[in-house]
Structure 1
């Protein structure tokens, strides 16, 4: 994927909000430092871009505009017209992806191989347009941005005891530039760039958008001056590149305008998408903090007829991973995976909080006239899970991961499948089971993948597109 950068990258469409019968959009552009992108021409006329960030040899620009949300529409830029399936009132399709990269050497991979599933989604969109592209975390893998600077080269195990203000400012500059380079290379990749100019994205972050295991690492590491500098740089880049926003200028869909947590929701035409922030307030002992729980508790009290898609960047329903944590206490060589397991809702450290979330989701799904489906990524496998809610109701969880991350060994998928046979019921009378994808016999599929969500005649269904075995039969939701 390495190579020279185009003079202008974009437009990358991001959904600011759904309100007042309109799809409020932001078009993101990256331009050489002395270039200015042409205006976007929408229904209200031309809109000039606004600079929202500056880097060493480039700047990031944004154009905010609106399209009608009751019919298909289009906008123009630089002499080209881009069709947008902006009708949110009837039948529609959305895609869900996660894990767009790898921990080591991601940007040195062959572009056509790395982006194969993005190219397949582009073809999918050509045959039946997508209205939304939901990103469930790890949009970039920032794990290597700490390399190349003396303060962060040993992250997370070997950190300096004291760092001067000048040294930390230099580290911040280093991290900003490395994050910029990763976002730009990924956004310039042709299959993604073609889609992103035509399908608005909604994004939720996970640990690799910051660093591997952020929040599950020891507190002394994340609270260190290097750790806080890393988090601040990653958060700034997350807002700029994944939301076309900056502090003090967040879109209206965010629950906290001050950005203490970055959870958000949108709703229109009988669809609500709810995305709590599972990283900003995370510690080794809590997945969400005061702000995140206030957002979720408020959502649980809202009337939302239709269907809610709940985005949980780490799977809300899963096998009994707490058994693996117990094994780690007696097998020292397994302890290197402790942070990975502590990242999960199913960790022993988060059991009470997990049950709180499951009760909240159960009560939301039980409300009259309302359906709820959980969407998750993170595990580099495709799977689904079902929780019995009682009274003939079920909570479906759909896991699609990853769009670009290569699949783990099939043996790992088989091991998780065997672990899942034990079952789990963190809430009494509400057992959870891991189920095979439609058309498959095993519980976990070790293939790159993405998820397609379709509403037709008011009914929702889901299909996975798997790298080797292709499209699954539809799963009614």
Structure 2
């Protein structure tokens, strides 16, 4: 097992913690080598805040500043540089959405300028018209290769040792921890991502590649094994640390589920409710969420008149995948893709859960419009579900750095979408082209910008080859 030369420096990185009459609450994370002193104070309008040592992992110390910015503040100062932050959130507003930041094999060996080309475009879009918030919708890293090279996991998810010793599992934990830390820090410190993350607060929900490909849709004998649970424990620790800026002890005060069984989150900005169910922590082959995950969804009722963004790491509205799923099970050479289909709401195994979630959407829609926002499929698309006299929109932006699939793949999926789907009687779902496009799925790397102007929300996709789409009014 080769030792990694792990970078141990990143930040500042902003994490959204809430908005109230007092202002915008943030945690600012700075990563420095363990042999360095604590970083300098952070200043907001002349008032200085000293950092707390959050944790130390693999020779990297994570320092956290807790700050609140009022609408009169323009940002913060750190180490001689001023960072502008949007602090007035009650009027016109811009929100970015990204997902699928990587690829399954060789991700860190790619040319970073090419890999992160769409991150650079997002940074340029922010410089032109600043974003107040960046939502990350899943697969913020691709951890598929972190298991390579250790004797317990080198053939993951096959050939697992049935009874590893405590010492072997401890060694595996440290090995996986090193590889996760290396992967996260290389990305967060990259020239294309770092400037944006220092100025735009983020909110992130995880998906399977933040753990491993197909987590929760793999056989339970794999995920429930001692080795599988060690992998999940490390991935969870890293998700909390790098994507939420927190540690386990923070969960009771920072997540709706104080037990941490579900890591879904819910926040409110003026006129906007954000709801992100955790579709991974409690996922099994016949379960999308457990009681704690459903409890957060079912207890959510947006403020009257709010726009609600429901962040679903896999698309909530989609084509009739059960047909493909059934055909694949008849052809042994395609059965290896079963977990990819099992990951979807539209899987035969999850149909009742899918209907349950759609009913919750209809309930929330009584308070105001609900828009589902998703990633996961490495394509850009949109959908509508009929809701009484109106529709619920779904916006899919997937693949800010993941290479786009072939255009033939996108066409084939578009043909399948033409069959239609209606999991709830009287509420048909239609997959539709993006504004300005004539096919249902666009095979280009992309991200999404949502903008509120004069109380009206619009969405625009930024496509790598086709450019920015015309606005879709929500």
TM-score (norm 1): 0.96
Cα offset, 1:148, TM superposition:
1.4
Instruction: Quote how far apart the aligned CAs of 1:302 are.
Output: 4.8
Q: Of the candidates 369, 375, 383, which is equivalent to residue 377 of structure 1? A: 375
The yes-or-no answer on 1:433 pairing with 2:430 is yes
The answer to whether the Cα contact below 8 Å between 2:7 and 2:185 also exists between their aligned partners in 1 is: no
**C-alpha distance in 1 between matches for 2:73 and 2:345:** 39
Residue of structure 1 in register with 2:394 after alignment: 397
Tell me whether 1:32 sits opposite 2:33 in the alignment: yes
Match of 2:299? 298
In the TM superposition, what whole-angstrom CA distance separates every residue of 1:90-147 from its partner, at most 9, and x where no partner exists? 0010100000000100010001000000000111011100000000000000111111
Maintained 8 Å contact 2:315/2:344: yes
Instruction: Quote the residue 1:211 is aligned against.
Output: 212
Q: Tell me what 1:407 maps to.
A: 404
Unaligned runs of 5+ in 2: none
What is the CA distance between 1:157 and its match in structure 2? Answer: 1.2
CA contact (8 A) 1:272 1:304 kept: no
For residues 96 and 164 of structure 1, what CA distance do their matches in structure 2 show?
Answer: 43
In structure 2, do the counterparts of structure 1 residues 332 and 7 end up closer, same or farther at CA, with 3 Å as the change threshold?
closer
Query: What do the CA deviations read for 1:272-298 (whole angstroms, capped 9, x no partner)?
Result: 111110011111001010000000000
**Following TM superposition, by how much is the alpha carbon of 1:71 offset from its aligned partner in structure 2, in angstroms?**
4.9
In structure 2, the CA distance between the partners of 1:421 and 1:72, relative to structure 1 (3 Å rule), is farther
Contact map agreement 1:253 1:266 (CA 8 A) in 2: no
Which structure 1 residue ranges, 4+ long, deviate > 6 Å from structure 2?
A: 3-7
1:476 aligns with 2:473: yes
Q: What is the match of residue 96 of structure 1?
A: 97
Is 2:314 aligned against 1:314?
yes
Matched ranges for 1:280-299 at <5 A: 280-299=281-300
- Once the two structures are superposed, the pairs formed by residues 310-389 of structure 1 within 5 Å of their partners are 310-367=310-367, 370-389=368-387
Alpha-carbon distance in 2 for matches of 1:249, 1:46: 23
Q: SS in structure 1 opposite 2:43?
A: strand
Return the offset for 1:366: 2.9
**Given the alignment of the two structures, is residue 116 of structure 1 paired with residue 117 of structure 2, yes or no?**
yes
Q: Is the 8 A contact 2:383 2:429 kept in 1?
A: yes
Distance apart, 1:55 and its partner CA: 2.5
Measure the CA separation in 1 of the matches of 2:252 and 2:116: 29
- 1:222-253, CA deviations, whole angstroms, 9 ceiling, x for partnerless residues? 00000000000000000000111111213845
Q: How far apart are the structure 1 equivalents of 2:302 and 2:117?
A: 40
Classify the secondary structure of the residue corresponding to 1:190. Answer: coil
Deviation, structure 1 residue 46 = 1.5
Distance 2:435 2:307 in 1: 21
107-116 or 40-49: bigger deviation? 40-49
Secondary structure of 2:359's counterpart equals: helix
Partner SS state of residue 366, structure 1: coil
Distance 1:56 1:137 in 2: 25
Name which of structure 1's ranges 350-359 and 31-40 shifts more when overlaid on structure 2.
Answer: 31-40
8 Å contact from structure 1 (residues 137, 378) kept in 2: yes
- After the TM superposition, which of the residue ranges 131-140 and 303-312 deviates more from structure 2? 303-312
Residues 321 and 341 in structure 1, CA contact (< 8 A), matched pair in contact too? yes
Deviations 1:277-332 (A, max 9, x none): 00111110010100000000000x45443201000000000000101111012111
Over 3 Å counting, the alpha-carbon distance change for 1:186 and 1:38 in structure 2 is same
In the aligned structure 1, how far is the partner of 2:204 from the partner of 2:428? 30
- Partners in 2 of 1:400 and 1:61 — Cα distance? 32
Unaligned runs of 5+ in 1: none
Alignment of 1:145-184 (within 5 A): 145-184=146-185
* Match of residue 56 from structure 1: 58
Separation in structure 2 between the aligned mates of residue 304 and residue 220 of structure 1, nearest angstrom: 45
Residue number in structure 1 paired with 2:236: 235
Summarize the alignment of residues 214-225 of structure 1 with structure 2, pairs less than 5 Å apart: 214-225=215-226
CA distance in 1 between counterparts of 2:202 and 2:259 reads 22
Give the TM-score, by structure 2 length.
0.97
Post-superposition shift, 1:21? 3.6
Q: Which residue in the other structure is 1:448 paired with?
A: 445
**In 2, distance between residues paired with 1:151 and 1:114?**
31
